[in-house]
Chain A
């Protein structure tokens, strides 16, 4: 993929995720990406970084999380990586098949956590999790020009 490549890096602290979002907004504005698409990217990257902080690093605040942005004329690819405890790949598969909607008659659907991976799977065109050599990487991909009305 030729085009822009930028890497952002933060310590594993929830209060720093806002800085990642601000940087992503800047990149999106520079590339003229639709606001709806950018808000989906902000949400999905935040969810992925939250997972790194909580699950990969067990809330240890002094670890490192990288967010890599690659884009060309058609596509944006984002890689969110950590070097902590790998995620069970079955969770990704499970999230693909989990309904992301509240059913007021089903109290279990009013769940208070566990939405993150489902958002990523539902809102991005493609999401893959890879782990190798101590590096865990969530790769998400989406087309720049999308029919937003077709997506929720």
Chain B
């Protein structure tokens, strides 16, 4: 799996370049995310999931583990989940922990000022 990163103002947009976020890559996913977070600890991160059509509990756990890595202080938002992925996020109410946006553009707009409060 690959994470493609780009800077937009003070934020890092991380595109997850895989269709299936599953147990075969959960550890790699977590380690890559932590690496990105540590490269620029002060930057907010928008995780672009537009290419991901499936996520299981191991990668959901990996996402939460990476988020918790720094005491859940990282400014992390999730953007553009496809319907099956959004459904998993809805079931666990991920938006209680981090903002979830329909598109990357919306995420960039909504995080351009003060970091949004959790829903």
List the interface of chain A (C-beta within 8 A of B): 13-15, 17-18, 21, 35-36, 39-40, 42-43, 46-47, 50, 53-54, 100-104, 107, 110-116, 119, 122-123, 152
Contact = CB atoms under 8 A, between A and B. Distances in A.
A42 B96 contact: no
Given A110-B72, A113-B58, A116-B57, A101 B24 contact: no
Contacts of B20: 18, 21
A47 B56 contact: yes
Nearest to B19: A18
A152 B91 CA distance: 6
Given A50-B56, A104-B97, A107-B72, A43 B92 contact: no
- The A interface is mostly helix, strand or loop, or mixed, namely helix
A43 B22 CA distance: 10
Interface string B29-49: 000000000000000000000
Interface residues of B, number: 28
A13 B24 CA distance: 8
A102 B94 contact: yes
Contact of B90 (A17, A18, A54, A152): A152
B91 A18 contact: no
Name which of B20, B23, B65 has the most chain A CB atoms within 10 A of its CB.
B23
Contact of A123 (B54, B61, B91, B94): B91
Interface string B67-99: 110001000000000011001101111101100
Contacts of A116: 56-57
Contact of B24 (A18, A43, A47, A103): A18
A21 B53 CA distance: 11
A110 B93 CA distance: 11
B65 to A, nearest CB: 4
